[in-house]
Amino acid sequence: MLNHIEHPASIHQIERSQLMNKEHALRMLRSRLYQIEIEKRNEERDRVESTKKRIDFGSQIRNYVLHPYKLIKDVRTGVERTDVQNVLDGDLDDYIKAYLMEA
């Protein structure tokens, strides 16, 4: 019988040859450890996924109003700017700073 110390996995004798039993036990143990590792990764992924928000209507980060007046408002932080063209050109520093200061 082959036992793994860290995980509750034990392999019993199947073949007549001790060498064949050892090889078979190591293959079985490797596959069980691989399965345990996959389950750990899936649990971690599920934990990360559970913190994400759903992408639905109304869950946007910023509102862009370009007509009749110009305004961009960050829904998370409440930061508003009227220089729309600069923001559309990539000047997001105010929004990033406000978000990081809030967190």
Q: What is the pLDDT of residues 70-87, one digit of tens each?
A: 999 998 899 999 999 999
Q: Residue 13: inside a domain, yes or no?
A: yes
Residue 45's domain comprises 2-50
Res 51 pLDDT > 90: no
6/42 same-domain check: yes
Quickly state the pLDDT bin for 8 (edges 50, 70, 90): low
Residues 11-15, mean pLDDT to the nearest whole number = 60
Shared domain for 40 and 72, answered yes or no, is: no
C-alpha dist (Å) from residue 8 to 4, 41, 84, 94: 7, 19, 61, 53
Number of domains in the chain: 2
Give this prediction's pTM: 0.46
Q: Is residue 60 over pLDDT 70?
A: yes
CB 22 within 8 A of CB 13: no
Domain assignment present for residue 57? The answer is no
Sheet containing strand 80-81, strands side by side: 62-65, 71-74, 80-81
